[in-house]
Amino acid sequence: MTHDLTLPRARHQDARRSLAERAVLDPHRPRFHFTAPGGWLNDPNGLAHWNGVYHLFYQYNPLAAAHHRIHWGHATSRDLINWTDEPVALVPGTDGPDRDGCWSGVLVDDGGTPTLVYSGRHGERELPCVATGSPDLRSWHKDPANPVIAAPPEGDLTAFRDHCVWRENGKWRQLVGSGIRGVGGTAFLYESEDLRGWRYVGPLLTGDASTGTAADLDWTGTMWECVDLFRIDGADILAFSAWDEGATHYPLYWTGQYEGDTFTPRELHRLDYGQRYFYAPQSTRDALGRRIMFGWLQEGRDEDAMAEAGWCGVMSLPRVVTLGADGRLVQAPVPELARLRREAVHTAAFVVTDGTYVRLDDVAGDQLDIETTLRLAPGAAARLVVRESVDGSERTVIEVSRAADSTTGTLRLHREASSLDPSVDSEPRYGELPLNGDGAVDLRVLVDHSALEIFANGLALAARIYPTRPDALGVGIAAVGAVAMERLDAWQMTAVFDGPRPLWP
Ligand code: DQQ
């Protein structure tokens, strides 16, 4: 049987349907990840756990599946899993400093008053703005003093936007992402008594863009977007997204020490190996003391396909971030996610014979949570296959391998056969996977239509895949060398979104 590639597009092309109606018809739309009701979604903003309610704001264009005149969408949840759409929080002004968009920012508690600090965009320029909220965080009032910083610091800068704001020693402190042309990305530090009048302190830390290139795994770019400074288990983390000339590369973090007006870096790591598929992350500390992080899973299909689908952009699953014994961040989906699990399948341990492929016939679907523990001999590799069509022409391969020297490994995502649609991104993704001497890999794979999130020994890799075949639902495992599968548990994941949602709740 040949699959008609034109079918999904033709169905979406009906311009009489609203964006939200077209969105729900799209087979690539996730069902348990947060998405906007329709139109465009990018960065998570204003994350907060406020009076027992989680607030997720996000960069939103309710008018088209394109990045233009960005609003702030808003959703709330009591469990980080089920979301209620709230009224759009910020709309670009008819005039004023945010007339071309309300770009990324944060929510802070100003003595009981919910207050947003965001980047107002006018022309090609972004400047810090403030808005205060009603006690239920449903209506927002922009401050007449906006922009609250009239101009970036002097110098030849690549950009000036996005905010991290916190209270310290009775004052507010703020980081604004930027880049010094010819030098590198940076985070400018400011101080304030009242969130309105800001004193420039200086660069907290500046990267060196002359070291490496975008092809490297840890080039820090010419501008740092969405800087996020937090302390976790006594360690200071400065996270940012490396940007260069309009290209959104990947999220990175420095470990180090924040003291006084500087951050002394120790180590630099990728936050997620999916590169731009987990971009612009933002985190908050919830009432349980957990560091909760979301990132933006960008699309891997072209602008026409997004426009036809009526929606684009996926919010990652909320992740709990902790500090590992090696000083690196460890990430896992919030445990609340397990509430969506249905129809458990437990596979008994077995040795995957070298060179064989075992199709797991009782595990199949496009909404799955798969947990497995694999043990790799030195030089061995295990390949977990998901979204495989019956004829094998479409398949997505998650590979974990162990080097012959036994303590290092690699996590790799192969997408070259993920889709028969030649227009979608099929580039591989990979990153280093530290292993203990026993070669054990705890692997968790969440499949949600086009959204894929992988966690291997606490390291994350998010990506998007667009299988065209309705039967691309299969799961299997292959081995090269000696691989033992010590357990595999899989669940169907129930949907939290069903049916069209209002674009303007
Ligand atoms: N997205 C926002 C910016 C930010 C970028 C605009 C990161 O504020 O720098 O939608 O994806």
Nearest ligand 1 atom to the CA of 67 is 10
User: Which residues make beta-bridge pairs with 329?
Assistant: 323
The fold of the 336-493 domain, in CATH, is Jelly Rolls (2.60.120)
Closest CA to 206 of 190, 189, 183: 183
> Would the CB of 119 count as within 6 Å of ligand 1?
yes
95 exposure class (CB count in 10 Å sphere: 0-12, 13-18, 19+): exposed
> Would the CB of 278 count as within 6 Å of ligand 1?
no
> Would the CB of 394 count as within 6 Å of ligand 1?
no
% residues pLDDT > 90 (the chain)? 93
> Would the CB of 280 count as within 6 Å of ligand 1?
yes
> Would the CB of 161 count as within 6 Å of ligand 1?
yes
Nearest ligand 1 atom to the CA of 59 is 10
Give the whole-angstrom CA distance, residue 392 versus residue 364.
Answer: 14
> Would the CB of 497 count as within 6 Å of ligand 1?
no
C-beta of residue 75 within 8 angstroms of C-beta of residue 87: no
Give the whole-angstrom CA distance, residue 128 versus residue 217.
Answer: 31
Residue 178 pLDDT greater than 50, yes or no = yes
Give the whole-angstrom CA distance, residue 283 versus residue 227.
Answer: 10
Between the CA of 349 and the centroid of ligand 1 the distance, in Å, is 45
Residue 493 pLDDT greater than 80, yes or no = yes
**If residue 11 lies in a helix (H) or strand (E), which one and from where to where?**
helix 6-12
Q: Could you give the residue range(s) of every CATH 2.115.10.20 domain in the chain?
A: 9-333
- Amino acid symbol at 60: Y
Give the whole-angstrom CA distance, residue 44 versus residue 65.
Answer: 17
Residue 44 pLDDT greater than 90, yes or no = yes
Q: Is the alpha carbon torsion for 351, 357, 360, 363 positive or negative? A: positive
C-beta of residue 52 within 8 angstroms of C-beta of residue 286: no
- Amino acid symbol at 351: V
Between the CA of 270 and the centroid of ligand 1 the distance, in Å, is 19
Q: Which two tokens stand for residue 322?
A: 């902790």
% residues pLDDT > 70 (the chain)? 97
Q: Compute CA distances 97 → 84, 142, 147, 154, 331, whole Å.
A: 30, 11, 6, 19, 37
Pocket test for ligand 1, best of 40, 41, 45, 59 (most atoms within 8 A of CB): 59
pLDDT in tens, 150-167: 999 999 999 999 999 999
Closest CA to 105 of 73, 128, 78, 75: 128
Give the whole-angstrom CA distance, residue 394 versus residue 472.
Answer: 7
**If residue 8 lies in a helix (H) or strand (E), which one and from where to where?**
helix 6-12
Pocket test for ligand 1, best of 116, 161, 224 (most atoms within 8 A of CB): 161
Nearest ligand 1 atom to the CA of 105 is 8
Give the whole-angstrom CA distance, residue 143 versus residue 129.
Answer: 8
Give the whole-angstrom CA distance, residue 345 versus residue 487.
Answer: 11
Residue 215 pLDDT greater than 90, yes or no = no
Give the Cα-Cα-Cα angle 441, 445, 447 (nearest 5 degrees): 170
Between the CA of 185 and the centroid of ligand 1 the distance, in Å, is 15
Backbone angles phi, psi at 301, to 5 degrees: -120, 165
Give the whole-angstrom CA distance, residue 31 versus residue 55.
Answer: 19
Between the CA of 43 and the centroid of ligand 1 the distance, in Å, is 6
Q: Which two tokens stand for residue 17?
A: 């349907």
The residue with greater pLDDT, 51 or 14, is 51
Over the chain, what is the mean pLDDT?
A: 95
User: Which residues make beta-bridge pairs with 471?
Assistant: none
Pocket test for ligand 1, best of 98, 158, 226, 279 (most atoms within 8 A of CB): 226
Pocket test for ligand 1, best of 43, 90, 271 (most atoms within 8 A of CB): 43
Domain over 9-333 is classified CATH 1.10.3720.10:
no
User: Which residues make beta-bridge pairs with 293?
Assistant: 283, 319
Residue identifier of the C-alpha nearest atom 7 of ligand 1: 280
Between the CA of 285 and the centroid of ligand 1 the distance, in Å, is 22
Nearest ligand 1 atom to the CA of 43 is 11
| Residues with Cβ within 8 Å of residue 32, at least 6 apart in sequence | 81, 317, 340, 367, 448, 493, 494, 495, 496, 497
Nearest ligand 1 atom to the CA of 248 is 11
Q: Which two tokens stand for residue 431?
A: 């990153």
> Would the CB of 298 count as within 6 Å of ligand 1?
no
Give the whole-angstrom CA distance, residue 211 versus residue 261.
Answer: 24
Between the CA of 42 and the centroid of ligand 1 the distance, in Å, is 8
Q: What is the 3-state secondary structure (H, E, C) of 53-104?
A: EEEEEEEEECCCCCCCCEEEEEEEECCCCCCEEEEEEECCCCCCCCCCEEEE
Between the CA of 253 and the centroid of ligand 1 the distance, in Å, is 17
- Amino acid symbol at 475: V
How large is the average pLDDT for residues 210-235? 93
Residue 17, SS3 per DSSP: coil
Q: Could you give the residue range(s) of every CATH 2.60.120.560 domain in the chain?
A: 336-493
How large is the average pLDDT for residues 429-442? 94
Catalytic residue among 14, 26, 43, 79: 43
Query: pTM of the prediction?
Result: 0.96
Give the whole-angstrom CA distance, residue 202 versus residue 379.
Answer: 49
**If residue 132 lies in a helix (H) or strand (E), which one and from where to where?**
strand 125-133
Residue identifier of the C-alpha nearest atom 10 of ligand 1: 103
- Residue tagged 């391969």 (tokens): 397
Q: Is residue 362 flagged as an active site residue?
A: no
Per-residue pLDDT band at 2 (split at 50, 70, 90): very low
> Would the CB of 43 count as within 6 Å of ligand 1?
yes
The residue with greater pLDDT, 1 or 482, is 482
Give the whole-angstrom CA distance, residue 474 versus residue 252.
Answer: 33
> Would the CB of 162 count as within 6 Å of ligand 1?
yes
pLDDT in tens, 307-358: 999 999 999 999 999 999 999 999 999 999 999 999 999 998 999 899 999 9
Q: Is the alpha carbon torsion for 147, 150, 152, 158 positive or negative? A: positive
Residue 8 pLDDT greater than 50, yes or no = no
Give the whole-angstrom CA distance, residue 282 versus residue 298.
Answer: 15
User: Which residues make beta-bridge pairs with 383?
Assistant: 399, 478
The residue with greater pLDDT, 17 or 421, is 421
| Residues with Cβ within 8 Å of residue 203, at least 6 apart in sequence | 180, 186, 187, 188, 189
Per-residue pLDDT band at 1 (split at 50, 70, 90): very low
Per-residue pLDDT band at 12 (split at 50, 70, 90): very low
- Of 3-12, 275-284, 312-321, 421-430, the poorest mean pLDDT is in 3-12
> Would the CB of 279 count as within 6 Å of ligand 1?
yes
Q: What integer pLDDT is reported at residue 213 of this predicted model?
A: 87
Residue 188 pLDDT greater than 50, yes or no = yes
Q: Which two tokens stand for residue 43?
A: 């960065």
Per-residue pLDDT band at 395 (split at 50, 70, 90): very high
